[in-house]
């Protein structure tokens, strides 16, 4: 217990769980065969996506929400491998080789790292059709005075507070994390795995994360951004409330349609 990050011992995981089962092809209520994978962020849990999962299942989508990386505090490389194995299992269960991704915060960075990893495979096991990254930390966490201090001593304070995942995301922002080389992007664009419809849902009032990066842009030049405040008629939503906000859920549902 004492080796776990401090904040995982203070804040319990979100207790909510989706109440609706996934639709079944046999029952005739499956409207889109492509499964949706919903990824939570750092210090979070699958329960945060319960309202979205129930809403999408009521509309005929199968939704899967993995618990990964000890509430998203593990090293990025370990969480990427864990999420990849989980999606492989979903694809086997659903007989699908394509998935849609909805990701919040660190989940957006994991989706990007996994997509570049898949694109480099000689045999693509599955691909992304659409990715909706909601305030994703694709470019890491914002380098404020506090986050810079947490990054001291190779990220030791960050690991103590929120695990290796926070230390890694600080390193991403500082250019100290080994990301896929940008010069590998052009030849990957011809590959199926390298052409998802990537949508970044961003907020001008969310200063916790860096939602995009030059490296990501080199791989996904056709990505597009949706400004939360524009879609919500000027209203902003705090980073930690976005997954359960009814209007954000409605926006994600529209973008997935």
pLDDT computed for residue 17 by the predictor: 75
* Residue 61 pLDDT: 97
Q: What is the pLDDT of residue 63?
A: 98
Cα torsion 247, 251, 256, 257: sign? positive
Report how far apart, in Å, the C-alpha atoms of 227 and of each of 81, 125, 233, 239 are. Answer: 31, 33, 10, 14
Any idea of the CA torsion for 88, 105, 18, 96, to the nearest 10 degrees? -20
Q: Measure the CA–CA gap between 22 and 34, rounded to whole angstroms.
A: 12
Q: Residue 13: its pLDDT value, please?
A: 85
Integer-rounded Cα Rg, in Å, for the chain is 18
**Is pTM beyond 0.85 here?**
yes
Q: How many CB atoms lie within 10 A of CB 234?
A: 7
- DSSP letter at 203 equals -
pLDDT of residue 84: 94
**Confidence (pLDDT) at 162:** 95
Q: What is the pLDDT along the chain (257 residues), one digit of tens a residue?
A: 457 899 898 888 887 777 889 998 888 889 999 999 999 999 999 999 999 999 999 999 999 999 999 999 999 999 999 999 999 999 999 999 999 999 999 999 999 999 988 876 655 678 999 999 999 999 999 999 999 999 999 999 999 999 999 999 999 999 999 887 554 555 555 554 557 999 999 999 999 999 999 999 988 999 999 999 999 999 999 999 999 999 999 999 999 99
All domains of the chain in start order, with CATH: 29-143+181-256 (3.40.50.1820)
As given in the structure block, the two tokens for residue 150 are: 């947490």
The label of the residue with tokens 């495979």 reads 121
Contact at 8 Å (CB) between 165 and 136?
A: no
Confidence (pLDDT) at 69: 96
DSSP strand pairing (63-64 vs 36-39): parallel
pLDDT at residue number 27: 80
């Amino acid at each position: 217990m004492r080796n776990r990050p401090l904040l995982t011992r203070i804040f319990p995981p979100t207790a909510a769980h989706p109440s609706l089962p996934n639709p079944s092809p046999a029952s005739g209520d499956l409207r889109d065969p492509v499964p949706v994978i919903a990824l939570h962020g750092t210090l979070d849990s699958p329960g945060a996506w319960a309202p979205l999962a129930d809403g999408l299942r009521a509309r005929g989508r199968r939704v899967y929400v993995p618990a990964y990386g000890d509430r998203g505090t593990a090293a990025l490389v370990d969480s990427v491998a864990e999420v990849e194995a989980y999606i492989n299992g979903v694809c086997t269960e659903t007989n699908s080789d394509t998935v849609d991704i909805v990701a919040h915060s660190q989940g957006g960075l994991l989706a990007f790292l996994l997509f570049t990893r898949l694109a480099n495979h000689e045999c693509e096991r599955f691909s992304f059709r659409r990715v909706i990254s909601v305030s994703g930390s694709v470019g890491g966490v914002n380098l404020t005075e506090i986050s810079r201090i947490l990054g001291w001593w190779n990220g030791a304070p960050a690991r103590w507070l929120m695990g290796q995942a926070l230390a890694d995301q600080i390193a991403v922002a500082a250019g100290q994390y080994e990301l896929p080389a940008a010069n590998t992007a052009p030849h990957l664009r011809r590959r199926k795995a390298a052409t998802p419809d990537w949508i970044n849902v961003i907020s001008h009032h969310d200063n916790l994360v860096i939602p995009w990066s030059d490296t990501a842009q080199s791989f996904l030049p056709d990505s597009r951004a949706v400004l939360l405040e524009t879609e919500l008629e000027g209203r902003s939503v705090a980073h930690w409330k976005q997954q359960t906000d009814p209007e954000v859920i409605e926006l994600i549902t529209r973008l997935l349609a």
